[in-house]
Amino acid sequence: MVDVTAPAAVGRGKPFVVRISTWYPLEDLEVRWNGRSVHPAVTMAGERSEAVLLLGVGLRGETGAYPLEVVAHIWGHARRFSRTIAVRESAWGTETLSVPPKMVRPPASEQARIEKDRELLKAALGKASPERYWTAPLVRPVKGRMLSRFGLYRTFNGNVAARHTGLDFRAWLGTPIHAVAAGRVVLIRNLYYAGNTVLIDHGNGFMTMSCHLFKTKVREGDMVEAGQVVGLSGATGRVTGAHLHLAAFVLGAVVDPEPFFDGTVLVDGNEK
């Protein structure tokens, strides 16, 4: 009655596509995954009702078997479907950087600000708007080549201090930074680690965050189109030079943005 298409296995920290379709009229749809739920937007694909959404287990998530549950309301009845997806470990690299000591171990005077930043992001990422604004394929945010990959074990000044929770692109100071997909700007802040930041809600729990900007070109609440300039690259926050740090989130979990641009997700072969 309802077709639920998703991969049998995925890597930890990697996003994946779920497609739900049926010949019957969907009055409401709920998808439950990893402790969160979302009501994805339903559209018509010919004569079929269809919903497409992005899911994933974050970089800090656990490996193992995860249930994917779908509750479809058809003609006043709730029909439940489920399947199990295996989450396996992904391969991660390493990186060594030198930064000012205060950026490795922030002074006590900055701890309150850092905690406030963390709570602010957590609240913003905890929401999942019912509208779906994004469409495939996504737009590269900048022409510069990819630099530091997602998930790297990073050594700062000789100490393993963090994991890399985004994808860095080469972007000289003042380079225009583009939205990867349509969406609503939900947060613009200067954060201690990320510097000047723009967080965009692309709908159904998918968000991206552009960091270290020299200048922002949008305001909170703005609707942006795919490819629209949202800011200029900079070197604000914890950086060693001007570049773009792009972070991606699905239902609040941070995932690798690279599959959106290298052809391993959001292409026909992955969505079917």
Tally of structural domains, the chain? 2
Residue spans of alpha helices (H) in the chain = 101-104, 111-125, 268-271
pLDDT value at residue 31: 97
Q: What percent of the chain has pLDDT over 90?
A: 74
Domain co-membership, 114 together with 172: yes
Specify the CATH number for the domain of residue 98.
2.70.70.10
Whether residues 64 and 112 share a domain: the answer is: no
pLDDT tens string 182-194: 999 999 999 999 9
Bridge partners of residue 211, in order along the sequence: 245
Last residue of a domain, one of 24, 59, 90: 90
Q: How confident is the model over 38-72, as pLDDT tens digits?
A: 999 999 888 999 999 999 999 989 999 999 999 99
Which H/E stretch holds residue 270? helix 268-271
Claim to verify: residue 6 and residue 44 sit in the same structural domain? yes
Per DSSP, 146 falls in state B
Q: Quick one: 106 and 86 in the same domain?
A: no
Q: What's the pTM?
A: 0.92
Which domain does 261 fall in, by range?
94-268
The CA-CA-CA angle for residues 148, 223, 197, to 5°, reads 35
Confidence label for 155 from pLDDT (cuts 50, 70 and 90): confident
CATH of the domain at 9: 2.60.40.10
Q: Clarify whether residues 114 and 149 are in a common domain.
A: yes
CA 31 – CA 100 distance, rounded (Å): 44
Q: What mean pLDDT do residues 141-166 have?
A: 82
Say yes or no: 157 and 211 in one domain: yes
Query: Are residues 57 and 133 both part of a single domain?
Result: no
* 76 shares its domain with 206: no
- CA dist 188 and 247 (Å) reads 14
> Average of pLDDT values for 195-209?
97
State the CB neighbour count (10 A cutoff) for residue 27: 14
Q: What is the mean pLDDT of the chain?
A: 91
- Does pLDDT of 173 surpass 90? yes
Tell me, yes or no, whether 29 and 117 share the same domain. no
| pLDDT value of residue 126 | 93
Percentage of the residues of the chain whose pLDDT score is greater than 70: 92
- Do 83 and 123 reside in the same domain of the chain? no
Q: How far apart are CA 2 and CA 48, in angstroms?
A: 10
Lowest mean pLDDT among 7-21, 73-87, 97-111: 97-111
End position of a domain, from candidates 37, 63, 90: 90
Does 129 share its domain with 241? Answer: yes
Point out the domain boundary residue: 90, 107, 137: 90
Length of the chain in terms of residues written: 272
Are 79 and 210 members of one domain? no
